[in-house]
């Protein structure tokens, strides 16, 4: 696991966007693994700006997103499908038919998870996976537990995550209690992973990444088993006070 420590949020986003843009330029038909949450927003803005400047072409790019609330309709403005459409896909020339987000309104969520994992396996493989990290060390919706899941699955959210994510909803009771999420192995199938962490609230989680320990109590720590992971963080997330 490699670390890049930047001064602040903006620098982390610039660094992350440069890495993703580099993959798109080198491989115009690449497959991006994308994340939601507030952290990657600045990276998406920078990628859009490059596209608008005519420096980036997404016409042959496809993508897989990490997760989606369950149940939620894709046009609910809190769904991750809606988030991706408004913050990235509608603003660039990606073919939406080539973008996948787990279907939060699937009648059979277990089948949806199986189909999603099968679609990842049937693809040429994710070239670069972008990750955020929860305050408790969760990635996608793989929450701290004694046992983690390998593949895409339906899962419950912890109280910690419901609280953290309630800022996007009117009431805490509106936050869906479940989600469809890639598992640890689905994420680690990606050839390259970048994990973005900014702000003091993430510093305990980053501290665990800096340690030698691998534990299901901090799902992101399992990324130490992957050969090509770069954590890009700001000073606030890197240095716990």
CB of 64 to ligand GLP, least distance (A): 13
Q: Which of 68, 127, 143, 208 is catalytic?
A: 143
Q: Report how far residue 72's alpha carbon sits from residue 179's, in angstroms, rounded to the nearest whole number.
A: 9
Judge contact between 143 and 219, C-beta under 8 A.
yes
**Of 28 and 47, which CB lies nearer to ligand GLP in the complex structure?**
47
CB of 133 to ligand GLP, least distance (A): 5
Strand-strand pairing, 62-65 and 31-34: parallel
Judge contact between 31 and 64, C-beta under 8 A.
yes
Say which residues have a Cβ less than 8 Å from residue 212's Cβ, sequence separation at least 6.
Answer: none
CB of 53 to ligand GLP, least distance (A): 26
Cα–Cα separations (whole angstroms), residue 56 to 42, 53, 121, 228: 16, 8, 27, 24
**Of 93 and 143, which CB lies nearer to ligand GLP in the complex structure?**
143
Q: Is the peptide bond before 123 cis (omega within 30 degrees of 0)?
A: no
CB of 29 to ligand GLP, least distance (A): 25
143 is a catalytic site residue:
yes
Q: Which of 15, 65, 127, 138 is catalytic?
A: 138
Query: Residue 54: left (phi > 0), alpha (psi -120 to 50), or beta?
Result: left
**Of 37 and 144, which CB lies nearer to ligand GLP in the complex structure?**
37
Q: Which of 15, 50, 67, 112 is catalytic?
A: 67
Site of interaction with ligand GLP (CB under 6 A): 35-39, 66-67, 132-134, 140-141, 161, 165
**Of 10 and 52, which CB lies nearer to ligand GLP in the complex structure?**
10
138 is a catalytic site residue:
yes
Catalytic residues: 67, 136, 138, 143
């Amino acid at each position: 696991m490699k670390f890049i420590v930047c001064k602040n949020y903006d620098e982390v986003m610039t660094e992350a966007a440069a890495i993703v843009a580099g993959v798109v330029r080198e491989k115009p038909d690449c497959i991006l693994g994308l994340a939601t949450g507030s952290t990657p927003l600045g990276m998406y803005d920078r990628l859009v700006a490059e596209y608008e400047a005519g420096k980036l072409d997404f016409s042959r790019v496809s993508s897989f997103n990490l997760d989606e609330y369950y149940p939620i309709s894709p046009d609910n403005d809190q769904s991750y499908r809606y988030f991706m459409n408004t913050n990235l896909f509608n603003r660039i020339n990606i073919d939406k038919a080539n973008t996948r987000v787990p279907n939060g309104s699937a009648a059979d969520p277990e089948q949806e998870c199986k189909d999603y994992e099968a679609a990842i396996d049937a693809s040429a493989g994710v070239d670069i996976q972008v990750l955020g990290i929860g305050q408790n060390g969760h990635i996608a919706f793989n929450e701290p537990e004694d046992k983690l899941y390998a593949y895409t699955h339906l899962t419950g959210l912890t109280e910690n995550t419901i609280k953290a994510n309630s800022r996007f909803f009117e009431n805490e009771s509106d936050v869906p209690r479940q989600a469809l999420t890639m598992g640890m192995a689905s994420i680690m199938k990606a050839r390259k992973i970048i994990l973005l962490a900014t702000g003091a609230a993430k510093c305990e989680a980053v501290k665990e990444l800096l340690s030698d320990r691998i534990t299901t109590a901090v799902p992101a720590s399992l990324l130490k088993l992957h050969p090509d992971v770069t954590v890009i963080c700001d000073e606030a997330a890197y240095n716990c006070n």
